[in-house]
Chains A and B, each alone.
Chain A
Amino acid sequence: MNDSILEIKDLKISFGSGENKAAAVRGINLDVRRGEIHSLVGESGSGKTVTSTCVLGLLPEPPAIIESGSIRYKDLELLSLSAEARRKTRGKEIAMVFQEPSKYLNPALKVGEQITEMLKLHHGMNSSQSEKRAMEILDLVGLGDNNRVLSSYPHELSGGMKQRVMIGIAICCDPSLLIADEPTTALDVTLQLQILKLIMKLRRQLNMGILFISHDLAVVHDISDRVSVIYAGLIVETGSREDIFSSPRHPYTRLLLASIPDAAKRGKKLTAISGRVPDAEHFPSGCAFHPRCPLAEEHCSEQQPAMESLGGSQSAACFCLSKEWTE
């Protein structure tokens, strides 16, 4: 039954050494199945980007130290692969789409070149084969009518076109796992919808598993199959889209959802979470959310709660799950 493409088990990553050691990721468990979109939701400093960078194998070690844990891609244990073997999985098996295409595309190389070089490297294609395939890829991402794109430089394209190119680059070698790190955050809302639709369409057509990283709960709501919420280096809640949005259980998730403004809340004061988002050097003891949590009890600052299954696919890590309360 295991159609998991990605399985992260108890991943622990820290930075620095000695007194300045900061644990950025403190034991993450996450899996992504073939054909599903699993969103990882978190704010700055939560460890979501460190995690995704680690899956790709681009975490610079030092200063990062992978303390323990496992990252399995299909039946490969990524953390025990050599650097060269790891490199071979990038682009070919695991691909990534980044946030700002104008920064993440090479300004001095033509778009076509940035696609064909991958096809030549990973699939051993020659020039004409790779060009043909590159055109098919552009067609897949919605840039098919424009035959100038291949020979254009990134700065000659619009923002939306650039992001489609980024996606094209990511999928051109048929990866099974796609990591999308805030791919639409820098885009206008109408463009965002188009790109999200594209990602979902490609997921369906290529049967990829997608790890979607975002801080935007509205977007996550619209595209996810499963959602995991990460706070201070740990997953605090995970479940299906319905679980998380209709019946969130962890106080952080609930408060976060309650604090997001929308038209329905007009006239009412927004539920705000007090305090600030902690950074890796100063994660609070015990349950990291306790300084900001309305339910906090004494033992919350002493012990870290373990993930408790709540039935179905939902689990949350909190000592006060059985308490009744309103935001």
Chain B
Amino acid sequence: MNFLLFVFKRLLRLVLTVLIISTIIFFVIRVIPGDPALVIAGVDASEEEIAAVRAKIGTDVPIGQQYISWLGDIARFDFGESMISGESVNKLIFERFPLTITLAFMGIILGIIIAIPLGVLSAVRRWSFWDYLGMVFSQIGMAVPSFWLAIILLLIFAVRFPLFPLFGVGSLKHLILPALSLGFARAAVILRLTRAAMVEELSKEYVITARAKGLTETMVKYKHALRNALIPVVTITGIQFGYMLGGAIIIEQVFSLPGLGRLFLYGIYQRDFTLVQGGVVFIAVVFSLVNFLVDVLYSVINPRIRIS
């Protein structure tokens, strides 16, 4: 019962967050210079033509009214039509969402596969070769911009040694390099965290007890300490996943992947209000949902705050 209440409160928070974000994006995009009507009508359109476009896309009514009617649309999960292309925003989003989410997933999984074992190894063999490797890796990962890495990876693994395709979609192979570029920075953060968490756990008193019990070092490190160290790592990883959605925009551009990121990028260029609004709200919802799931996951894996 308490768990349900907890879930309910969290969901409420989610809705509130999305609402606030939607409001912010609604007004922000209208503040930046640029008028979609102009984009659609063309640079040399006449006043009447522009006005006609405005009437068509709905920017001739007062902003307050636009906002209210848009809120109404959102409540019905209708993101409206793209001001530029006229297509349903919902349709556009759902067409491209699978690619982006797959990319994000692959990115985080690759990140985890590299970062967690390396992080644990770093902590367990501090100041060893592995530790230095891990530290270097995480430093690079945090300093290198993902698009630069993407380009470098492309140059090496698609041009110099044509192991991977340069662009486009079609198979999982197409997503490997993009996922790597996307996941690299995240992996760096996760590695650092894993190392820190593991080091901290290894210095705790229950580890002394574990050794005093005559347990093997393997059991002490990987059964006792790791279990506790993973608790914060899991949470942070979940949150990192959310960030990947944002990073996807750039990566998709570099690799010419027809995902959500590119969709929104062009929407912004063209001042396609509805598309951008819808996109941001959608991402806000996904991000909040991810956070929510992470919160729930955290309370499940951490026995201390498990609601019994």
Q: A and B: real partners? A: yes
Interface residues of A (CB under 8 A from B): 56, 58, 87-92, 95-96, 98, 100, 103-109, 117-118, 121-122, 153, 155-156, 166, 169
Closest chain B residue to A95 by CB distance? B212
- CB pair B215–A58 under 8 Å, yes or no, is no
Interface of B, secondary structure class, is helix
- CB pair A104–B303 under 8 Å, yes or no, is no
What is the total number of residues of chain B having a CB less than 8 Å from a CB of chain A?
A: 22
Instruction: In the complex, identify which listed stretch (B69-77, B141-149, B223-231, B272-280) lies at the interface while the others stay far away.
Output: B223-231
Interface residues of B (CB under 8 A from A): 204-206, 208-216, 219, 223-224, 227-228, 231, 302-304, 308
Given contacts A108-B303, A109-B224, A153-B303, contact A87 B206 (CB under 8 A): no
Complex Cα distance, B220 from A118, in Å, reads 12
- CB pair B212–A87 under 8 Å, yes or no, is no
Cβ contacts under 8 Å, B213 to chain A: 90-91, 95, 117-118, 169
Cβ contacts under 8 Å, A89 to chain B: 214
Cβ contacts under 8 Å, A95 to chain B: 212-213
- CB pair B214–A58 under 8 Å, yes or no, is no
A107 in complex: contacting residue of B219, B223, B303, CB < 8 Å: B303
What are 16 sample pairs from A and B whose C-beta atoms fall under 8 A apart? A56-B212, A87-B214, A92-B214, A96-B209, A96-B212, A98-B208, A103-B204, A103-B206, A104-B205, A104-B209, A108-B227, A109-B223, A117-B215, A118-B214, A121-B216, A166-B209
- CB pair A155–B209 under 8 Å, yes or no, is no
- CB pair A58–B212 under 8 Å, yes or no, is yes
- CB pair B208–A104 under 8 Å, yes or no, is yes
A/B pair count, beta carbons within 8 Å: 73
Complex Cα distance, B214 from A96, in Å, reads 11
Q: How far is the CB of B209 from chain A (nearest CB, A)?
A: 5
Cβ contacts under 8 Å, B205 to chain A: 98, 100, 103-104
Cβ contacts under 8 Å, B302 to chain A: 108
Closest chain B residue to A103 by CB distance? B205
- CB pair A88–B209 under 8 Å, yes or no, is no
Q: How far is the CB of A209 from chain B (nearest CB, A)?
A: 17
- CB pair B214–A122 under 8 Å, yes or no, is yes
Cβ contacts under 8 Å, B231 to chain A: 108
Most chain A CB atoms below 10 A, which of B213, B219, B223:
B213
Given contacts A103-B205, A106-B224, contact A155 B303 (CB under 8 A): yes
Most chain A CB atoms below 10 A, which of B210, B219, B302, B308:
B210
Complex Cα distance, B121 from A95, in Å, reads 29
- CB pair B214–A106 under 8 Å, yes or no, is no
Complex Cα distance, B215 from A121, in Å, reads 8
A90 in complex: contacting residue of B204, B212, B223, B308, CB < 8 Å: B212
10 closest A-B pairs by beta carbon, nearest first, are A91-B214, A90-B214, A103-B205, A91-B213, A153-B303, A106-B206, A108-B227, A96-B212, A104-B209, A104-B205
Extra contacts besides A87-B214, A87-B216 (18): CB < 8 Å: A88-B214, A89-B214, A90-B212, A90-B213, A91-B213, A92-B214, A96-B212, A98-B208, A98-B209, A104-B205, A106-B228, A109-B224, A117-B215, A118-B213, A121-B215, A155-B303, A166-B209, A169-B213
B228 in complex: contacting residue of A96, A104, A107, A122, CB < 8 Å: A107
- CB pair B208–A58 under 8 Å, yes or no, is yes
Closest chain B residue to A155 by CB distance? B304
Cβ contacts under 8 Å, B304 to chain A: 107, 153, 155
Q: How far is the CB of B303 from chain A (nearest CB, A)?
A: 4
Cβ contacts under 8 Å, A87 to chain B: 214, 216
Q: How far is the CB of A92 from chain B (nearest CB, A)?
A: 6
Complex Cα distance, B228 from A184, in Å, reads 27
Q: How far is the CB of A269 from chain B (nearest CB, A)?
A: 39
Given contacts A103-B205, A155-B303, contact A91 B212 (CB under 8 A): yes
Complex Cα distance, B220 from A90, in Å, reads 13
Cβ contacts under 8 Å, B228 to chain A: 106-108
Cβ contacts under 8 Å, A155 to chain B: 303-304
Q: How far is the CB of A58 from chain B (nearest CB, A)?
A: 6
Most chain A CB atoms below 10 A, which of B209, B215, B223:
B209
Complex Cα distance, B224 from A169, in Å, reads 15
Cβ contacts under 8 Å, B204 to chain A: 103
Given contacts A153-B304, A155-B303, contact A105 B206 (CB under 8 A): yes
Q: How far is the CB of B43 from chain A (nearest CB, A)?
A: 64
Q: How far is the CB of A159 from chain B (nearest CB, A)?
A: 15
- CB pair B210–A106 under 8 Å, yes or no, is yes
Complex Cα distance, B304 from A109, in Å, reads 10
Closest chain A residue to B301 by CB distance? A108
Complex Cα distance, B156 from A76, in Å, reads 62
Cβ contacts under 8 Å, A96 to chain B: 209, 212
Q: How far is the CB of B34 from chain A (nearest CB, A)?
A: 53
Cβ contacts under 8 Å, B224 to chain A: 106, 109
Cβ contacts under 8 Å, B215 to chain A: 91, 117-118, 121
Complex Cα distance, B228 from A117, in Å, reads 17
- CB pair A105–B209 under 8 Å, yes or no, is yes
Complex Cα distance, B212 from A117, in Å, reads 13
